[in-house]
Structure 1
Amino acid sequence: MAKRAYSPKEVLAKKYKTLPWGEKWSGPFGEVPVNETWFISGASASGKSSFVMQLAKELCNYGTTLYLSYEEGISQSFQMRIKRERMSEVQGRFRVITDDTYEELAERLGRPKSAKFVIIDSFQESGITYDQFMELISRFHRKSFIFISQEYKGEPAGKPAGRLKYKAGIKIRVVGYKAYCQGRFTGDPGSCYTIWEEGELRTSNNIEKDEHKETDSGA
């Protein structure tokens, strides 16, 4: 039997529930469906981990958020980030796990009142394959999966991560304490989310110093 084909009228009539966040988030990232797949990447020391924690806190306003800390575990740096972003303010809506297997995660997400937002940090350290995550996304299609990826030479580390990036509707790259959206929903591709203003200024000043050094050396 042939699968159903949709008319333009049927496509346009379809309704999507989006995150009701304010201009701070909707400006750079747009009106994002609550069950969208995210892909966040960035070099080490770019502000990526801080951005992810800030995003997690924002998402707690709209549902329980589960943070899978595969890469850091419950390390001192992770603890400091929890404190800095005041995650105790969302105590009842934020949970951290460190070592769920695919089977354990699937069982956890299948429970009543399980998390609406699932952050995987990082995809490479999770031990869960691309195909297994696609199964989870399909099975729990009402949830939002947010994947954090390591980078190698400015690109997602490994072919599976590259495939995952193309699958995601929201693609974000963090550079110099700014998060830039490369996804499908932003109306202004040039806009960005500032993670840490002081860090952004330091990064900008260092870039300017390097440019002056290059100019002086070439004179």
Structure 2
Amino acid sequence: MADEKTTVKKSLSYEDITRKNYKVFDFEGDWKRHQGVLECAGSILIYGDSGHGKTTYAMAAAKELTQFEKVFYNTAEEGMRLSFKRSLMLNNMKSVKSKITFQKETYDEMVLRLRRKRQPKVVFVDSVQYCFRGKRVTDYYKLIEEFNNTLFVFISHIDKVGSPKGTVAQEIYWDCQNRILVKDFKAHIEKSRCGGDEVEPFVINEERAAARELKLLRKS
């Protein structure tokens, strides 16, 4: 039996919902076709195998999002290594250097950062597996509920059958606004709640995508 003292939320009418304004990221051109119109809340999942272009795609997405908000990129897995510096330079992140910052942080360290005033409203987490070490699915929901005016972009490894690796990544897989599989330097929208293109992929790197296609043709 429900506690009589529990407050029951008022149900909303059609007009209540349609009059509400939402903060969105309204891209232009190919990014709009690809991602649709994102809400500045909840999560996006980018997943795929190593060597297929996840980091390159994440960097490109981060650059696009700096049009709207400052971005924080948590390089929890790679850290401030030479390879990460190389990624920044290859993807010309210098062009948006005033709008994006980077750090290697655990889940708890990241939460402490985001509780400070005037923090970025777009947060990339690379990767889910490293940032959420020792954490549970409930910690994912605590994160997006506490920072409900922040968009989290999660990057995930895959397991042997090609699914996002681990229970947290699996939960994000079902909960996210856009689910994006990166394969052979193409980003495929597998599921979109934002009007993203679920048919035609976004080409991350034309030269490398063409080379990968040629390699696959030779194998077959």
TM-score using structure 2 length: 0.89
Is the CA contact 1:27–1:191 (under 8 Å) kept in the aligned structure 2? no
- Equivalent residue for 2:195, pick from 175, 183, 186: 186
Is the CA contact 2:42–2:144 (under 8 Å) kept in the aligned structure 1? no
Stretches (4+) displaced over 3 A: none
Indicate whether 1:177 and 2:185 are aligned: yes
Give the match for residue 4 of structure 2: none
Unaligned runs of 5+ in 1: 212-219
Moved more, 71-80 or 180-189: 180-189
Give the match for residue 113 of structure 1: 118
Letter in 2 for 1:110: R
Give the match for residue 124 of structure 1: 129
Q: How does 1:138-153 map to 2 (within 5 A)?
A: 138-152=145-159, 153=161
How much is the aligned-residue C-alpha RMSD, in angstroms?
1.5
Q: How does 1:43-54 map to 2 (within 5 A)?
A: 43-54=49-60
Unaligned runs of 5+ in 2: 1-6
Shift of 1:63: 1.2
1:164-202 per-position Cα deviation (integer Å, ceiling 9, x unaligned): 211111111101101111221235310221110011101
Shift of 1:139: 1.0
Letter in 2 for 1:61: Q
Shift of 1:34: 2.2
Give the match for residue 3 of structure 2: none
Q: Against the structure 1 CA distance between its residues 150 and 82, is the aligned structure 2 distance closer, same or farther, given a 3 Å change threshold?
A: same
1:47-90 per-position Cα deviation (integer Å, ceiling 9, x unaligned): 11110011111112211111111111112221111001111121
Q: Secondary structure at the match of 2:97?
A: helix
Give the match for residue 103 of structure 2: 97
Q: Secondary structure at the match of 1:125?
A: helix
Q: Secondary structure at the match of 1:136?
A: helix
